[in-house]
Amino acid sequence: MSYPSPVTAEALAALYPFAKVGHERIDQLLNLCHREHFRQSIDPFRQRDWTGQVVYLTSGELKIKQADGIVRVLVGGSERALFPVSQAGQVPLSAKAITDIELLRIDEDAADIVITWDQCLPSTAAVRDTGAEPDWRMMSGMFAVQSLAYGAFASLPAANIATLLERFQRDTYARGDVILRQGDAGDYYYLIEQGRCLVTRDVAGSTLELAELKSGDAFGEESLVSDSPRNATVTMRTDGVLLKLNKADFNELLREPLLQRCSVADAIQRTRNGAQWLDVRFAAEYQHDGLPRALNVPLNELRAAIPLLDKRNEYVVYCQTGRRSAAAAFLLSQRGFNVVLLDGGLRALGTTGNADTERGSS
């Protein structure tokens, strides 16, 4: 029988490669860890699916037969047990708990992303000595584990990390400061490090409050991705600190790495395999020539609809030309959704004549 229990920072920090990770990251990584207990004589690797997990023996004795045929006895707390028993989907050919044992498991991809970032961030000592850069390790917003592993930066190539940190500007703002204004051209992408922001939109002479953003949230990407004017105003609701990235750096370091484009043929195949078409045009446009069985969520309503979307699904996002859908794909991607962008939008799709995507009202 297996059951989870809390993991301590000391237990995680004793294991490799986490022994080389800063203590701030260790504390945050604990949310990704679980302990599992198995009784004597059980083969734990036949009791559950360990796919995507790094697994360590933390107590007890475990006999394993590896893929190369070598048989070993691991003892929790020994030097050899500081390294994974299983990772990259490779579990022992067979195993048997000689005594009652305890295994520690952690999401492999998330842990690897966090470790990569940790190695790229300037050390606390280096920041203290130079005083020239913010201490990214201590930030609680976008550089926290959940954001690095599942948010805007999860798909960022490791080669972009150091450059990205160099390009961010960090500014302090006061309550009531207007950060961006509806109708203005897009110039920066923003991350909230500290404080809260209010998002409003002027409609027919009235000001509507759309959302309140908090530490860790991002804004300003829609205008940059779609190359269109700002569609809302963002004002500081409290004093705060924002990180901002200019349009050129945003396009080079964030936009393109996060936008996964697909051809018409690829999009059709993905939907045949279970992916969901997502039409981000206005409802009237969708009713006129939307794809059958497509989900219609206009771009200007997408943020509010995000809690209703299923992260287990793959979404193929489209609009008329690809501009609005690019903004939607970026917005969803930076929030951890599995999303691809139909390159060229319905204009490209309309040239295929494929029966699977015949346009018309749904």
Domain parsing of the chain, residue ranges: 4-111, 133-255, 259-357
Q: 4-111: which CATH architecture?
A: Sandwich (2.60)
Kindly give, in sequence order, each residue whose CB lies less than 8 Å from that of residue 195, ignoring residues fewer than 6 positions away. Answer: 173, 215, 236, 237, 238, 239, 240, 241, 242
Class of domain 133-255: mainly beta
- The CATH code of the domain at 259-357 is 3.40.250.10
User: How much is the pLDDT for 150?
Assistant: 57
Per-residue pLDDT of the chain (362 residues; tens, 9 = 90+): 444 456 788 888 888 888 777 776 787 788 788 889 999 999 999 998 888 898 999 999 999 998 788 899 999 989 999 999 998 778 899 999 999 999 999 888 778 777 766 665 554 444 444 444 444 444 445 555 555 555 556 666 665 666 777 788 889 999 999 999 999 999 999 988 889 999 999 988 899 999 999 987 889 988 888 788 998 999 999 999 998 999 998 888 877 777 889 999 999 999 999 999 999 998 989 998 899 999 999 988 888 899 999 999 999 999 988 888 988 888 888 777 899 999 989 988 764 444 355 444 33
φ and ψ at residue 156, rounded to 5 degrees: -75, 130
Question: According to DSSP H, which parts of 186-342 are helical?
Answer: 221-226, 247-250, 256-258, 264-272, 283-289, 302-305, 323-333
pLDDT at 140: 45
Contact at 8 Å (CB) between 260 and 340?
A: yes
Kindly report the number of other CB atoms within 10 A of residue 29's CB atom. 24
Is it true that 4-111 and 259-357 share their CATH fold? no
